[in-house]
Structures are given as C-alpha cells and as structure tokens.
A and B are shown apart, each in its own frame.
Chain A
Amino acid sequence: MSQTISGSQNTSTGMNAAAYAAGIRDVIVLELKQRLRSRGWYIMLGIWFLLTALVTWLTWASWNASQAYRTQGPDFGYVAGPTGPGSMIFEVVLAFVLLFALLVAPALSANAINGDRSGGTLAILQVTLLTPGQILWGKFFAAWLAALAFLVTSTPFLIFGVVQGGLTPGHVIVSLLMLTVEVGIVCAVGVGISALTARPLFSIVTTYLAVAALVFGTVISFGLGTGLTQGTVMANQPNYPNSSPLVPEGPSAPPAYTCSGPLQEQRVPRTERVAWLLAMNPYVVVADAIPYPVRTGGDVFSGTGTLEGISQLARHAVAGPEGSYTCANGEPQDPYLSQTTPMWPLGLGLQLIVAGLLIWLGWRSLLTPARKLARGTRIA
C-alpha cells in the first residue's frame, strides 16, 4: 500500500498562489465534468438558442412590417431614424438575453454547495487539502462558466442586431462584457446563498427572489423611496424665447430657455438620495455601460434607444434636482446628461458588495473543523 506518494508529503504548510489556483482549477474541472455530462444542460442550451432566435426574428419581422406600413402610408413629414433596425433588434435581444441570463444563472449556481452537501459529496472535498476558499471559488467559476455558455449561444443574435444597423462591434463587446459581469454577480449570489442554506430548493428560490429584488425591487423601492426624500431646490423662472415649449425637450437640445427672476424655494423630491437603489438594477448597469453616440441638436427625436433612455433616466435621478430641475440655481439645465459621468460603476460596486458579502458568509460556513452548523444539516 505505502508507495510512491512520499513526494506529496512535503512539509510546506503555506500555499503559494499557483497551488491555490491549481486547487480552484481542479474543483472547476470536477464541476464542469459533471455538468457537461448532464443532458438537462444541453436541453436548456437548445431551448435558449431557439428562444433567442425566435425573439430576434420576431423583432426583425415586426420592424420590417412597421417600415412597410410607414412607407405605404401618408407622409406626415416624419423622418425615420437613421439607425435602421439594428439598434432596435440589438436592444430587444440584449434585454431578452439579460432577462434570461438572470433567470438561468440561479438555476446553475444556487445548488452548488448545498446540493453537494445533501448528496454527501461536499464533505469528501472538505476532508481533502482543499481550503474552503478553493471549494467556493471553484464552484463559483464553474457555475459562471456554465452560465456563460448561454451568453455565447446568444452572441450570433447580438452580432446580427449590430450588423443590421449602425452600431459598432464595440457595442457587442461592451454589452457581452457587462452581461458576463452581471451573470457572474448572480452566480456569486447563488453560490453564497447555497452555502448558507440547507436545502437546494430553498436556496434556488431565495436566489430568484434576490434577482427579482435587483430587477424589480430596486425600481419599486426607488419609486417609493422618492416619496420620502422631499426637499427643496432654489430655482427661478424659465423663459422660452420662441414660446413653443412643445418643441424639443429631447436629448441635447441646447437649452431652449433662459432663466430669470428671483430664486425661490421649490418643493421637489431629492432623487439623488435614493438613486443608488436604481443604480443597482442590472438593466441600468448594462444600459448605462453601453456607449451611445453623443447627441447633437439634429437627431434629438429619433435616435434615442430604449437603453439610452434608461441610462438617461437613471442619470437624471442621480443628478437630482440640482442637476435636472428647470432653472435650478438660476442656471439653464442641459436636458441631456452627457456620458462623462457614468453611473454604472456605482451600481456594479453595490452589486459586488452584496455578492462579496454573501460569498464571505458562505466561505465562513465552509470552514472546517466546523463550529456551527446550519440548523438541521448533517455535515457528511
């Protein structure tokens, strides 16, 4: 029995970074081998591909149909945007891919730890030389990689959207990068929660609720929170020289008014105090990170895509009344907030804090010899 493994018995107690990474890689290999051999994963991937294809086709077809209607109908002097269908297809596909990535990621990550625990295989890992950190990171990266396969599958459709319209490859790269990061955050949340809870079903549901909290909860709490932030801003009266306020309020129209008169206190919601909630929304993070062309006065109406709109709304919320209320502090406000002050780092940072906290708590629950066990869990 006792042969040839004395080489491993070297007495270095410390572990260098390479050995640490090697342990993580070994866990990833173990996890991916199992995932790649389950048929369910391939079926999900196939369904995903078909659904994305369907949505892309529907978007494209509906745009074509509406174009045909416009060209046949009476001319109201309404000019179609110069961007073609590309922007629209791209945005719809992107929104859809993000939605489904957020839905798939919990399923792939939220049973990583407690699924193994109930299968009796977690303790097998814990009793080896692997550290809790290696196990946790290995599980996380494996879940992330599995989720990224879904993004890779949807890449052709994003490229199709870009090719169809006047968008650059940069759009695809940035949006895929942001999708990757968002999926990673959901996976981290899922793995963290799965380390903290006893039952896979419970952790999967909890992770879905966490995703719902990010997507809907942030919007709702921003809306409700706005009501609690009543404040004031000093402003005076705007004068519209050509007295036609119907004309452009669109992006980047040069301020079409001047401000005059005495400054008075105006009651307004100070949205900047709760805007961080909105910033945490994955859609806001993705929309804000994607570059859009700098608006000039010419294309104020038509060029605005949905993503750009979301981004602008969120930036107005962050700017608060000081930066967006008409004639705040007697200054005319540019209705279009330029992209020089991106807000997605704020949202991403907050998401990373939440995910990091869950991962840290999960790491603590994997420490051995274990002092505390979750109620009702058997370690082995």
Chain B
Amino acid sequence: MQQGRDNDGSQAAAGRIREVPSIDGPLDADPVSGIIAEGVSRSFGSVHAVEHMDFHAPAGKVTALIGPNGAGKTTLLLMLASLLAPDSGTITVDGLNPATQRAEVRRRVGWMPDTLGVWESLTAREILTQMGRFYRLPKHGIPDRVADLLGLVRLVDLADQPARVLSRGQQQRLSLARALIHDPSVLLLDEPASGLDPGSRVELRIMLRELAEAGKAIVVSSHVLSELDEIADGAVFVNQGRTVNKQTVEEATARGRRYAISAVDTESLSGKLTELGLAFRIENGRRPAVSLMLMNDGDAARLLREVVLAEVPVLSFAPASGALEETYMTLEVEQR
C-alpha cells in the first residue's frame, strides 16, 4: 500500500550506524553525577544479552531506555542496580563503583523491578517499613517516611491490607514507593507504567518530573512511548544488546514526525498532497487516512492551511505517533 517513499530508510540507517557519540550537549551536563555505563557487556552462556553498551542518565533528567523485548533493557538495569556484574566495561553511580563501594551505591540507587515481587501476606505499610529497616534508616523516622510515601502513591486507604488484595496497578505503585523509601539519587524503573490505569499514568508522569526536578537521575524503561514523550528528557535506544541511538526528545522531534490526516474525501486529499509534491502513504485503518512525514510543527501548520484552503474536507490532522515512537519504529524496520 506504499505509494510514496519517504525518508525513513536513510534516517534509520544513519541512526543505526552512529553508535554512540551523537549527543554531548544537554545529556552530559555533569559527567560525575547520575549513572554512567561505558562499554558494558554481559552474556549468559552463549546469549549476549548486552554487548558493549554505553549509557548515561544524568542527574535531574529523565532518561528513557527504549527497545524491543529481549533487547537487553532489563539486563542493563540489573547491572545498573548492582545486582549483576558486567563481564566487561565500567559502571559508576554518582562517581562510585558498585563492585567496590557496594553499600554507598545502594544507598543512592532505588530499583523497581519489572516483576512486582511483593511479600503477599504483608501489608503495604509493613513492606515499606521493612524496606526502611533493610536500608538502615533511623528507626524513629521510618513511620513518617512510610506514611509520606503511602500518601504519594495513593495507597493510604489500603495501607493495612495484605498486599495480595492489591490490584496489579496498586502493587505497581507500592513497588515504586518501595524503590523510593531511602530517597535515592538514582531511580531505575523497569516498565513502571505497565498495569497502571490512565489516571495513575498521569500521576506517575507528574511524580517522575518532580523527582527529576529534585535532582534525581531517573531511568525509565518502557514500551509506552507516547508516555515517554511527555516524561523523558532523553532517550537511549537499544536493540539486540547494543546501544543503537541516543537522542533528546527535542532531537527526536526535530527529525520529523509522522502526521495522519483524514478527510471525508480521501481522493481529493491525496490529489492535493500529490500536487504539493509530498510523499505520503495511504493507511488502511478503520477509517481511511493518509500519513506523511513532516519535519516540524511549522510545516504541519502550513500544510494544514494549504489543504483547508484547497477546500479538502479535512476531518483530522494530528501526529500519528510520538516522537520517540517514530525513532523506535525506524529501528524496528532496520531490525528485520
């Protein structure tokens, strides 16, 4: 169904080949703070889960870790959380080495696993209290800290229920509170939005932005890319255990974005687009529409004006996908 060729291919190829160094500016504000992985590799038997991966999550920013299933995201997060040792390469957390300064690193890192892993017979309050003790927080401060976190993740009403009665989304929020109990400076979140209802997603988004503004380095791995557009300052794309691209969301947006346009009369729309000399393709969704790449918001506004003035009966004109999703899809295409 592809009628025109757009520039996806060349862009993606460039992204793939360009391994690491593309961005130095906004992401590398302070070289020591935050979490840095350089040339990290890890294999399990013959499976190379992570191969020579570079990653930097600076303090005060939300960094998205994006990639298909099995790309090595969780393995990388386990290494960043100092649970798994890399076969080669170095990891530093606020300039500290997890292998030799274990306790110091752990005081600074909060980790939320993708498997929920709650102690089901304990209540939310007990779980957080226990975690406070495992992090050796001062005993007298723990009850207040726990109460604050329960409020933050909206579990006050369910605080004294056993965790097994919590829904998946509630357990997810409890898991987030657990990762925050010791006020870490680096927060590693593995799929934090999965299982959350839309309201909780918005809250998570706001919460993560606040935490980043408080100076924490936040790493979020997720598939829900449209969410990440709103949260993330930068993104690291990984595939097959390698860092394939790094970019800020601004850059992702600057690379152009796919817009979907639908009209009462698709014929006249495609006629107008052809007349303007634009490459587009016809989408066979539930409602007939065309989509095309536009480089920036200005282009989009001009095009909308053009088609409306040409009396094409436009029904909708909107970005077809998030900026990060656009990059992600080009990677996916490359993968095949």
A residues apposed to B, CB below 8 Å: 1-5, 7-9, 11, 13, 15, 19, 22-23, 26, 29-30, 33-34, 37-38, 119-121, 123-130, 368-371, 373, 375, 379-380
Contacts and interface: CB of A to CB of B under 8 A. Distances in A.
A221 B154 CA distance: 62
Contact of B83 (A1, A33, A127): A127
23 contacts: A2-B183, A5-B137, A5-B183, A7-B137, A7-B138, A7-B141, A8-B136, A22-B136, A23-B134, A26-B134, A29-B130, A30-B119, A30-B122, A34-B122, A121-B119, A125-B134, A127-B81, A127-B111, A128-B134, A129-B107, A369-B85, A370-B85, A380-B83
A249 to B, nearest CB: 59
B34 to A, nearest CB: 16
A13 B85 CA distance: 20
A370 B84 contact: yes
Contacts of B99: 369
Given A120-B117, A127-B81, 10 more contacts: A2-B214, A7-B137, A13-B101, A30-B122, A34-B119, A129-B134, A368-B83, A368-B84, A375-B45, A380-B117
A379 B78 contact: yes
Q: Which of B116, B117, B118, B190 has the most CB of A within 10 A?
A: B117
A370 B122 CA distance: 28
A371 B99 CA distance: 11
Interface in B179-232: 180, 182-183, 190, 210-211, 214-215
B145 A4 contact: yes
Given A368-B83, A369-B99, A123 B117 contact: yes
Nearest to B141: A4
B178 A124 contact: yes
Given A120-B116, A121-B118, A13 B103 contact: yes
Interface string B114-141: 1111110110001000110111111001
B52 interface: no
Contacts of B210: 1
A123 B214 contact: no
Contacts of A3: 145, 148, 183
Nearest to A369: B85
A185 B93 CA distance: 41
B152 to A, nearest CB: 8
B267 interface: no
Contacts of B78: 123, 379-380
B83 A11 contact: no
Interface residues of B, number: 54
Nearest to B162: A37
Contact of B138 (A8, A11, A124, A125): A8
A363 to B, nearest CB: 15
Nearest to A130: B134
B180 A1 contact: yes
B84 A379 contact: yes
A370 B121 contact: no
B79 interface: yes
A369 B107 contact: no
A129 B182 CA distance: 11
A371 B83 CA distance: 9
Contact of B141 (A5, A29, A119, A375): A5
A204 B134 CA distance: 28
Q: Which 9 A-B pairs have the closest CB atoms?
A: A120-B117, A120-B115, A369-B85, A128-B134, A37-B121, A7-B138, A121-B117, A26-B133, A8-B137
A127 B104 contact: no
Contacts of A34: 119, 121-122
B113 interface: yes
B92 interface: no
A283 to B, nearest CB: 36
B324 to A, nearest CB: 25
B83 A126 contact: yes
